[in-house]
């Protein structure tokens, strides 16, 4: 789906709100803070900007952000979990402005973290940017996943298979999906005005996952660490435009 200049403008605004949610939650990360407190901070940003949440009530999800510590990959429900020195925490945020969606995530360390954890975070973020670089007119969508996978696997990490990126616009999750790996068949050709949420989930160990009994939290099967970075990006004449940065 190709978005008009007017639609892209609304998505730009939604992206700025998501970027502000990132800034506010990132600044609050420290030992002793609960994931519910991070959710409240993000909710305040939405309220201040008059934006709606695309996470709250999504298939019954009870919060405006996802908070996924350590071996949790994505979709963690904020609650009483207290951040500890040495944890890593993935925070996924979204906002709706004038009917248009933004969606982005980051992983950060809590206090001092292990060298392996910091390497995982660095590699996952770098894999996202390698994917973003492929969002150019005339390229094929599967090149995104190929680029992400190359960065992650070169670092001897693995890329999650069951959860993928997506097109985004008047809904958070639109077709087509954007795998973070070579999907076996070529993707559609990229055109001006297409908008995607690219979101590599990278594991230190194997890419296998399971879901917690709450029906949301997605965990690494082997208990090893996982990181998640995401941006909402438009394909433009001037190359990829990232909406979810300040
Ligand atoms: Mg997201
Ligand atoms: Mg997403």
Using only C-alpha atoms, the chain has a radius of gyration, in whole angstroms, of 17
CA 239 to ligand 1 centroid distance, Å: 22
Residue with tokens 């150019």: 136
Q: From the CA of 167, which ligand is nearest?
A: 2
CA 199 to ligand 2 centroid distance, Å: 6
Yes or no: say if 138 and 189 are a contact pair by the CB < 8 Å rule.
Answer: yes
pLDDT range class, residue 47, cuts 50, 70, 90: very high
pLDDT range class, residue 38, cuts 50, 70, 90: very high
CA 231 to ligand 2 centroid distance, Å: 8
Task: Identify the domain containing residue 76 by its residue range.
Answer: 5-242
Q: From the CA of 55, which ligand is nearest?
A: 1
CA 82 to ligand 1 centroid distance, Å: 22
**pTM to 2 decimal places:** 0.98
CA 164 to ligand 1 centroid distance, Å: 10
pLDDT range class, residue 224, cuts 50, 70, 90: very high
pLDDT range class, residue 91, cuts 50, 70, 90: very high
pLDDT range class, residue 25, cuts 50, 70, 90: very high
Give the total number of structural domains in the chain: 1
CATH number at residue 144: 3.90.230.10
Give the span between the Cα atoms of 192 and 207, in whole angstroms: 33
Distinct helix (H) and strand (E) counts, the chain: 4, 14
Q: How much is the pLDDT for 123?
A: 98
pLDDT, tens only, 126-138: 999 999 999 999 9
67-77 average pLDDT score: 98
């Amino acid at each position: 789906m190709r978005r008009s200049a007017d639609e892209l403008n609304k998505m730009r605004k939604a992206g700025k709100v998501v970027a502000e949610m990132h800034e506010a939650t990132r600044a609050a990360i420290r030992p002793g803070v609960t994931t519910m407190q991070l959710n409240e901070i993000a909710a305040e940003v939405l309220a201040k900007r008059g934006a709606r949440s695309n996470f709250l009530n999504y298939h019954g999800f009870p919060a405006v952000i996802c908070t996924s510590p350590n071996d949790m990959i994505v979709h963690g429900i904020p609650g009483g979990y207290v951040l500890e020195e040495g944890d890593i925490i993935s925070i996924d945020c979204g906002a709706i402005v004038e009917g248009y969606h933004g969606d982005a995530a980051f992983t950060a360390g809590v206090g001092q973290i292990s060298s392996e954890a910091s390497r995982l975070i660095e590699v996952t973020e770098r894999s996202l940017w390698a994917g973003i670089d492929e969002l150019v007119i005339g390229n094929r969508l599967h090149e995104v996943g190929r680029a992400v996978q190359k960065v992650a696997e070169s670092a001897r990490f693995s890329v999650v298979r069951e959860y993928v990126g997506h097109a985004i616009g008047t809904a958070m999750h639109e077709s087509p999906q954007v795998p973070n790996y070579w999907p076996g068949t070529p993707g559609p050709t990229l055109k001006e005005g297409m908008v995607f949420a690219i979101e590599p989930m990278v594991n230190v160990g194997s890419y296998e996952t399971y879901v917690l009994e709450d029906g949301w939290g997605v965990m690494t099967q082997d208990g090893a660490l996982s990181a998640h970075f995401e941006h909402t990006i438009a394909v433009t004449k001037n190359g990829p435009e990232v909406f979810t940065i300040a």
